[in-house]
Structure 1
Amino acid sequence: MIFAWGIVLAAQAAGADTPIVVPIPSDSVPPIEHIAPEQVVVPRDTPVHLMVLNEVSTKDHAAGHKFRLRVDRPIVVDGREVVPVGATAWGEVTDASRSGNVGKSGELAAVLTHIEFGGTHIPLEGQTTADGKSGKGETLLGVLAMGPLGLFAKGNNAKIKAGEKMVAFVAQDTLLSDAS
């Protein structure tokens, strides 16, 4: 089971000054009156601006490949920056069809999964797709110039380019500690 930040409770036993951290399931954020001042809830559907760090293409990557993104604008809740620019986010390729003969272009689909920040995973909802350019025009010219051998002209691979920007949304209310 995935856990969000625990609720920090003051230890009552033996006069201890050390707080006790009690983990809570990520799908149950405590009522607002139980959230400590140094904690904040990042609400569901908060927009998150991301940037791809390294190119992902159908030439080099298959379904299941995980790729890094970075938070491109700070996440602000109630006027307070809670996740800075540069925090690491992750995506995963869900479908990668390579380019093929007769000018067939590649197709790529990916989901944006989560942000890793201060030991917490902030779940995301979002997806992106990319299509390679069709090589049908080149195939036609190849057939005219080389006969049937022109049918072996390939389309282009699909790519999500490094530096490409996209937007995802926080998938569920997530409790963060200010010390993140």
Structure 2
Amino acid sequence: MKQLLEIILVAVAATTNVPSQPLGSTPTEVEASPASAAPVAAVQAPVLIRRDTPVVLMAISEVSTATAAPGTRIKLRVQQPLLIDGRTIVPVGTPAFGTVVAADDSGGLGKSGRMTARLQHIRLGDAEIPLDGEVSAKGTGAGSAGVAVIFTGVVGLFHRGNNAKIKAGEILSAFVSEDVMLDLTSNPIKRVAPTTSGAPQ
């Protein structure tokens, strides 16, 4: 009897050392690791700049028929940001370029210089955004007076016309000449092929 009592006491003592768990409770779940709990970053879709989107540019330096010739490059910059859905896609200061396509220097007898330039593209990262625009400049009337010896030997006066100029700080307007899709997530920014299922904005 004494041995049976000792066995019962040992069994009771053993059960008291086991942590109690509420009835109906489930085992504690293992917490997720930070790597598995981290949210997945959203993938940014390419941005479409539509054809005929207006662009405002500014000439950085003066171009004159005194020195310019067809093929002379004109350095410009974006003067107003290009926005898509309120978001700046092309910021102020982004470089742009044009090219002189015709240039006639001023001459004697009051002839004024004439110049025509074509606005070509904006450079955003590695992407070129083609532009459609043209600017013409003409000299303003007679310029300086000079002295010439006519072939008869008579000394006479002549007037030299003014050169045509695109002045530094002059504001120029252009339009995007075709749809342009940009991948803004790449570094530098790149132009990508348009999607066939509609153009994201």
TM-score by length of 1: 0.72
Report matched runs for 1:143-162 at 5 Å.
149-151=156-158, 153-162=159-168
Could you report, residue by residue, the CA deviation over 1:47-81 in whole angstroms, capped at 9, with x for unpaired residues?
A: 00000000000001101101110000110112211
Q: Highest CA radius of gyration, 1 or 2?
A: 2
2:161 aligned partner, one-letter code: G
Q: Distance in 1 between matches of 2:50 and 2:106?
A: 40
Quote the Cα distance in structure 1 between the aligned partners of 2:78 and 2:155.
49
Separation in structure 2 between the aligned mates of residue 165 and residue 148 of structure 1, nearest angstrom: 44
Distance in 2 (alpha carbons) for counterparts of 1:109 and 1:135: 20
> What is the identity, as a one-letter code, of the residue corresponding to 2:116?
A
Q: TM-score, normalised by structure 2?
A: 0.65
1:128 partner SS: strand
1:170 to 159, 176, 201: 176
Q: After TM superposition, what 4+ stretches of structure 1 lie above 4 angstroms from structure 2?
A: none
Alignment equivalent of 1:110, drawn from 88, 92, 117 = 117
How many angstroms apart in 1 are the aligned matches of 2:167 and 2:142? 20
Q: Are 2:92 and 1:90 equivalent residues in the alignment?
A: no
Question: Is structure 2 residue 58 aligned with structure 1 residue 51?
Answer: yes
1:129 is matched with 136
Give the residue type in structure 1 aligned to 2:168: A
The alpha-carbon deviation at position 156 of structure 1 amounts to 0.5
Gaps of 5+ in 2: 1-42, 149-153, 190-201
Q: CA deviation at 1:148?
A: 5.8
Structure 1 spans left out of the alignment, 5+ residues: 1-35
State the alpha-carbon separation in 1 of the partners of residues 142 and 135 from structure 2.
22
The structure showing larger relative contact order (alpha-carbon pairs under 8 Å, at least 6 residues apart) is 1
Cα RMSD for the two superposed structures? 2.1
Partner Cα distance (1:93, 1:118) in 2 = 24
Aligned equivalents of 1:117 and 1:178: distance in 2? 10
SS of the aligned residue for 1:95 comes to strand
